[in-house]
Amino acid sequence: MREGSKANAPANRTLDSLRALTGRWEMEIRWSEKTHKLVGGPASVRSSVSFTWIEDGCFLVHHVGGDDSPAARWIIGADETSGGFAVLYADGRGVSRIYQMSLSGDVWRIWRDSPGFHQRFIAHLSPDRRTIEARWEKSSDSRTWELDFELTYTKSP
């Protein structure tokens, strides 16, 4: 759809703050030493990602690995009364999770408190909104956290 069409504008004004995420990005994931040993393979991987409005701007979808056959999908929605966000996540491994999310200024956070496996994501958007530096952390008890992996998103021209 054309820029400025209904699909490019959020239907819910709470989603307006997510405009900085929309578009195509390149992502590099760098595994922590511990995680790298568990998953094997290279110490880092690159992937194309995109953030696009769906359902007439009611949700923002994040495809990791391209739009045609994504390795993972996030569907982001908002609650206009609380201003909070929810993320539905699913990937090609059959994993599906529900996260809470916030984006305030240049700080983007995602978290999940699930017994035995807590996760949190913290990211900082650059002032020009073309780079995002992020990290995922995990915890079995929600008190002791360890790095899972780091990410850098770079917006495509």
DSSP 8-state class, residue 82: T
88-105 pLDDT, tens per residue?
999 988 999 999 999 999
Helix (H, G, I), strand (E, B) or coil at 91: strand
Among 10-19, 43-52, 65-74, 114-123, the minimum mean pLDDT is found in 65-74
Nearest Cα neighbor of 134 from 117, 147, 122, 146 is: 122
Fold of 6-155: Lipocalin (2.40.128)
Q: Give the whole-angstrom CA distance, residue 114 versus residue 99.
A: 10
Report the first-to-last Cα separation within the chain, whole angstroms. Answer: 18
Find out whether 98 and 89 touch, Cβ atoms under 8 Å: yes
Q: Compute the chain's Rg from CA coordinates.
A: 16
Of the candidates 86, 32, 39, the one whose C-alpha atom is nearest the C-alpha of residue 59 is: 86
pTM, entire model: 0.85
More confident residue, 131 or 41: 131
What is the helix (H) or strand (E) element at residue 35, kind and residue range?
A: helix 33-39
Structure-token match 């989603």, residue found: 15
